[in-house]
Amino acid sequence: MTENKKSDTAFKTVVSADKKIFDLKLKEAFKYKDMILLFVKREFVSKYKQTVLGPLWAIIQPLFTTVVYTVIFGTLAGLDTADASPAPMVPSFLFYMSGTILWSYFSSVVSATSHTFLANAHIMGKVYFPRIAMPIATAISNLISFGIQLAMFIVTYIVLIINGSAEFVLSWHLIFVPLSILQLMLLSTGIGIIISALTTKYRDLSMLVGFGLNLWQYATPVAYGLMLIPQNYIGLYHLNPVTPAILSFRYGVFGVGYFDLAYYLIGWAITLLIAFLGLLLFNRIEKNFADTV
């Protein structure tokens, strides 16, 4: 008689109907990093496919927006561009460009992520992969465009320094630059995931994304300085988590401006809460995507 031997092969994939509330599957998404990179390449290429100027649009759009802000809000309306008193020596063109490229990244990720599941419904019905890979790829893909815009900002900054119109002070404040970008990445992805999860059932919400982002921009110091906000409303104004991200970015780049540690930490707390709630909501309704999309 032959003796039955237990197989040494262990199961690596377990398919279960049970969904743990805090099982966010982030480790599983990391295992699919090669597929995420393919999504990143596909989104970036498709964004500028069949365009004459291609990735140059990543420079043209914020550049023209900065020019419009400088002429209308800076020259004609004469809005204050100072974040703190006394007013620092920051050229208005650099001020508007810094806010423009940050808001452009934030709004692009929110808008793209909020439609990513509807746009990729045909893929989700054919093959299994962690669905969280799609919003992650969207955030990284738009980060490439942001990198191009940031390079344009740095070149402009250097030209103005050589021209004597701007100054640069090397200090520890520069740490706020990558931290601000990371905060906007987490915040925009979290908001986009929440919207995308809800739009699978409530399609009307997708119609409000563009309108809501336009209103949100007016409540964010993109085209004006913080000094225009009455002191009584500063605390309420900082409940907008994009506000401390943009203020700390300008503080890090220019070395002057407004920075309050308490409001900064509150902004990060709100950002992490939104990102966590987005992942939690996504995890709860992920199993119904195929039926609702």
Q: What is d(CA 218, CA 83) in angstroms, rounded to the nearest whole number?
A: 16
- Six token digits for residue 85: 């008193």
Q: What is d(CA 24, CA 195) in angstroms, rounded to the nearest whole number?
A: 17
Q: What is the pLDDT of residue 8?
A: 52
Closest CA to 96 of 254, 216, 241, 229: 254
Task: Measure CA 169 to chain center.
Answer: 27
Burial of residue 24 (CB within 10 Å: 0-12, 13-18, 19+) is middle
Taking the alpha carbons of 38, 39, 40, 41 in that order, is the dihedral positive or negative? positive
Q: What is the pLDDT of residue 248?
A: 93
Q: What is d(CA 136, CA 209) in angstroms, rounded to the nearest whole number?
A: 19
Q: What is the pLDDT of residue 22?
A: 54
pLDDT by residue, tens only, the chain of 293 residues = 444 444 455 555 555 555 555 555 667 667 767 777 887 887 777 777 777 677 778 888 888 988 998 888 877 777 777 777 766 668 889 999 999 999 999 999 998 888 777 766 667 666 666 777 788 888 888 898 899 999 999 999 999 988 888 888 788 889 999 999 999 999 999 998 888 878 777 776 777 888 889 899 988 999 888 888 888 888 888 899 999 999 999 999 988 888 889 999 999 999 999 999 988 887 777 666 655 55
Q: What is d(CA 68, CA 70) in angstroms, rounded to the nearest whole number?
A: 5
Q: What is d(CA 38, CA 41) in angstroms, rounded to the nearest whole number?
A: 5
Closest CA to 189 of 252, 282, 101, 98: 282
CB neighbours of residue 185 within 10 Å? 22
CB neighbours of residue 268 within 10 Å? 19
Reduced to 3 states (helix: H, G, I; strand: E, B; else coil), residue 178 is helix
Taking the alpha carbons of 40, 147, 247, 265 in that order, is the dihedral positive or negative? positive
